Copies of this chain bind each other. A is one copy, B any other.
Amino acid sequence: DFMNALQEVRPAFGVSEEELEMCIQSGILKFSPHIDHILKEGHLFMEQVRTSAKTPLVSVLLHGPPCAGKTALAATIAMSSEFPFIKLLSPDSMVGFNEASKVAYISKVFMDSYKSPMSVIVVDNIERLLDWVPIGPRFSNSVLQTLMVLLRKQPPKGNRLLIIATTTERSVLAQMDLLLSFDYKIGVPNIMNTQELSNLLKGLQAFSDTDRHHILGELESVTLGDRINVGVKRVLNFVEAARQDTDIPGRFVEMMADAVAEGSVN
């Protein structure tokens, strides 16, 4: 019965809960209105799975540049569902696996999810699961085909599944026809301008207000504008590195300026 089924899958849930929490180590700072929009969209699809018997399978892709916060947002949506089965499917757990083992592991996670009345699977960093490299290009076609089928395969009668995937390589997935396998796609943007950076630093409480104003001013004068286009994860890293220097704000501005320059080149 339902209660026993829950029991059976609960332990798996517990494990991934910890893993998912590690993905949100620095919390979700609402540096722009996009963040709330993404979380709301995620909520809607989660509700569709919970309530609509006609669509027992819904899949969503979060795509955006490296370090934009995709994994943290996917983990946040997944954990908010409170479904009895919540699982993180990540390349981190498959280090050293060969293609066949990856396929087996991925299939196993989906088979496990089919036993629960309601499940979420976070498929993190799809291009890494696929062993994607632009030289060649090369990738694991057997992992790709497995994902393509699993993204469209209905759970057994009565059970339901939400799949949230993340990627930095939306156009690659399009070339692979993998994009067609997703019901919905949501973009996750970088920190785009000094206003958003200001919001983030405020949320972080990393600098005094004076220092923050000084930093933003310096940055704008060095980069000749307010455009940033750097991922939230990198900014958080720069804050920590700068702390080791004697001139903390100066070092932070230097690192930010380098990253802005890099980004505007690409």
Contacts and interface: CB of A to CB of B under 8 A. Distances in A.
Question: Which of A128, A180, A244 is packed against the most chain B CB atoms within 10 Å?
Answer: A244
Nearest to A177: B134
B22 A55 contact: no
A128 B154 contact: no
A48 B240 contact: yes
Contacts of A39: none
Interface string A131-144: 10111111101101
Contact of A133 (B47, B128, B144, B146): B144
A44 interface: yes
Interface stretch (A29-37, A98-106, A191-199, A219-227): A98-106
A208 interface: no
A243 interface: yes
A52 B136 CA distance: 39
A177 B58 CA distance: 31
Contacts of A47: 244
B54 A240 contact: yes
A175 interface: yes
Copies of this chain held together in the complex: 6
A100 B131 CA distance: 15
Contacts of A157: 22
A141 B131 contact: yes
A126 to B, nearest CB: 13
B153 A95 contact: yes
A92 interface: yes
A261 to B, nearest CB: 13
A95 B149 contact: yes
Contacts of A54: 25-26, 236, 240
26 contacts: A22-B154, A45-B241, A45-B244, A47-B244, A51-B244, A52-B240, A52-B241, A52-B244, A54-B236, A54-B240, A58-B241, A66-B180, A91-B145, A92-B149, A92-B152, A92-B154, A95-B149, A95-B153, A96-B104, A133-B141, A133-B145, A133-B176, A133-B177, A135-B139, A138-B141, A183-B241
Interface of A: 22, 25-26, 44-45, 47-48, 51-52, 54-55, 58, 66, 91-92, 94-96, 98, 100, 103-104, 107, 110, 128, 131, 133-139, 141-142, 144-146, 148-150, 152-154, 157, 175-177, 180, 183-184, 234, 236-237, 240-241, 243-245
